[in-house]
Amino acid sequence: MPSSAGHRTAATVDRRGFLRTSLGASAGLLAAPAFVTWLGAADAKAATGLAAFVDDYKSNVLTNQTPETNAVVRVLGGMAEVWKTGDAWDTGHVLDREVLRANMRYCARVTRARTEAQAKEAFLYDRQHQSYAMIAGLGPLAGLYKAGARAVTSITSAPDGTPPGKVSDTLPADAPAGSALGAGSHDSELGRVAKLVDTVRGPFASGNPAKFAFQYPRPWRMNEDSEVVDTGEKDALGYPVYDSQVVVAPQLLRQRSENPEEDGGFPSGHTNAFHLAALAFAYAVPERFQELVTRAFELSHTRIMAGMHSTVDVIGGRVMATALTAATLADPANAELKAAARAQALAYFTRRTGTTADTLYAYAHSDATDAYADREANARAVEPRLTYVLPRRGRKDPLTVPKGAEVLLETRLPYLTADQRREVLRTTALPSGYVLLDGFERWGRLNLFAAADGYGAFDTDVTVTLDAAAGGFHAADSWRNDIEGDGGLTKRGTGTLTLTGHNRYHGGTVVEAGTLVAASPNALGQGDVRVTGGTLRADQVLRVRGSYVQEGDSTLELLLRRNHGPALTVSRRVLLGGGGVLSLRLDPERPPVAGTTVPVLSAPRLRGRFDRVELDSATLKAVPVHTADGLSVRLVRR
């Protein structure tokens, strides 16, 4: 199981007899300029013959501490551009002063401004099992999960001041029979889910080998320039005092390691564990994907708030967890387990909540007191923590999505192909130029919060098929990103896709079947729109920047509002080829009244007519009024 415990220094033998050599000492590989250049090369993998991370993740063991031997060390290799490992835990030195000085200043600023409540929160999540802490990200489903998995903890509050001894999470004496710490018992109603979380956090998921390799100390042992400066004094608990402005939360003072050689900071083990658990839960319960990702970022930030880790430590923990989760989920040996975990979670939660696959998502977002109920607030919490203090430098470098990364979206976007999920990851990824994120295979550039909202760009034409009969996300989903690109979208299948962004894609939109919902005025981008089957529905005033064509057995559904302009404005021509239906809904907040004429469609030129005009009212009917440049309806009583 991953740990945040630290590690020994160069050329030492641990208690199990493993001889380890620091990368910055005799090996010197991470600090060598040639290796830095190799890291940035687009053909790095081919040039070196090294395996892709997902094929080599089991190399992450204590005996392997070089980039050639350990896949995690390779993935985190961007750290070598800012920090050179020394021949002992306290002899490394700074390569990028701008980054590491900003790193330490951020830690000092956060810890000095920390409130007592924040200090207690930092203690809680330092001591509580990380997998258990992540359960709260399930929101309205969290209590049901704990009961079904028999997941428990003994750490439910933080003491005032410094506790008399080290505090560990242990099985409570009053825990129900068969309970387990963390994700819960494997012998429970949610045993497959608990086992999936524990498998993702398995024997090859530790941050310890990388900590030994990089030997970047914890922030409270360093000054602003990342220099270890021991004042020679001892604190009240007998620990060395370092020349640092970073303040450790008082509740955690007794939790610190007394041996700095075994207590490295980069990468953060707790952060690694939080994100591993979050992504495993998100695979099994994709209805809470973004909320779990958000909670992982927030819990990881408590490591900085505690004074136990710096921003680069936390970024490193997230990067390695992203790669490790993908590798574990992509491993054929875990194929049966991951499928069983998803099926078990869906069956359990629908049964316990009285929902179906189609309505579970709504239930999982039904509690206004849920800490993660506000998607926009979640986005604001995640966005700055993707990069923290890192400046962006260098030229634009297109991302090649790491092999196997698409598995992270397998249950969240199940109606897409593997290649399409890779495109989602690519088009929502962070730009190049962030030093810690541009390491081997660029795992740090993946933005899973944004990827859960679908494509960021249509660089080629995209065809998506949703199946209402399959339920869940197969039946209905929303893409919330602002979609750009030269490609277009074709909607097929019986399900419903909703676009909410301020979209700027140029390749046009085609609706062939099912329902496409335009939930923003610019949802359909800047190209032509063609509806040949199914329904195009607008939830508010809609703008089509090109031409609009409707034909065949198809429906255009628009919203009518009192004292407002046309429900649909088309910049070029409108062609109604026969067979089409216009379905009108009255805005419940500002409905037009009988006796008024309401503009419906405006365009420079209109040809053809709808076969039928419908109105969702028991008391009113709509009489169409066609002109050469648009359509209005006169509302009369039935």
Q: How confident is the model at residue 395 (pLDDT cuts 50, 70, 90)?
A: confident
What is the pLDDT of the chain when averaged over all its residues?
A: 91
pLDDT of 18 higher than 50: no
pLDDT at 27: 36
CA distance 596 to 592: 7
Predicted confidence (pLDDT) at residue 406 exceeds the cutoff of 70:
yes
Supply the pLDDT for residue 48: 58
Amino acid 613: pLDDT:
95
Residues 450-507 have pLDDT tens digits of: 999 999 999 999 999 999 999 999 999 999 999 999 999 999 999 999 999 999 999 9
What was the pLDDT predicted at 259? Answer: 86
Q: Closest Cα partner for 346 from 513, 71, 541, 148? A: 148
| pLDDT, average across residues 144-155 | 98
Closest CA to 289 of 299, 297, 279: 279
CB 230 within 8 A of CB 275: no
Residue 466: name the closest of 414, 510, 523, 392 by CA: 414
Q: Own/partner pairs for 171-178, CB < 8 Å, 24+ apart?
A: 175/150, 176/150, 176/152, 178/150
Find the mean pLDDT for residues 97-107: 98
The torsion angles phi and psi of 471, rounded to 5 degrees, stand at 75, 170
Q: What is the pLDDT of residue 15?
A: 28
Give the residue, 40 or 477, on which the prediction is more confident. 477
**Got the DSSP string for 287-307?**
GGHHHHHHHHHHHHHHHHHTT
Cα separation, 519 vs 526, in Å, equals 15
Residue type, 398: P
pLDDT digits (tens, 9 = 90+) for 544-598: 999 999 999 999 999 999 888 899 999 999 999 888 999 999 998 889 999 999 9
pLDDT at 6: 33
Average pLDDT over residues 615-638: 93
Using the predicted structure, report yes or no on whether residue 108 has a pLDDT greater than 50: yes
The three state secondary structure string of 373-384 is CCHHHHHHHHHH
Show contacts of 606-609: CB within 8 Å, 24+ apart.
606/573, 606/574, 606/576, 606/630, 606/631, 607/573, 607/574, 607/575, 607/576, 608/574, 608/575, 608/576, 608/577, 608/578, 609/576
In this prediction the pTM is 0.93
pLDDT, average across residues 142-153: 98
**Sign of the alpha-carbon torsion through 223, 227, 231, 237:** positive
pLDDT score for 258: 81
**pLDDT for residue 47:** 41
What is the C-alpha to C-alpha distance for residues 470 and 282, in angstroms, rounded to an integer? 20
pLDDT at site 39: 45
* Structure confidence at residue 3 as a pLDDT band (50, 70, 90): very low
pLDDT above 70: percentage of residues in the chain: 92
**Given pLDDT bands bounded at 50, 70 and 90, which one contains residue 44?**
very low
Give the span between the Cα atoms of 91 and 89, in whole angstroms.
6
156's CB contacts (< 8 A; 6+ apart) are 124
Question: What CA–CA distance (Å, rounded) separates 218 from 263?
Answer: 7
pLDDT at residue 17, as a whole number? 29
The predicted pLDDT at position 543 comes to 97
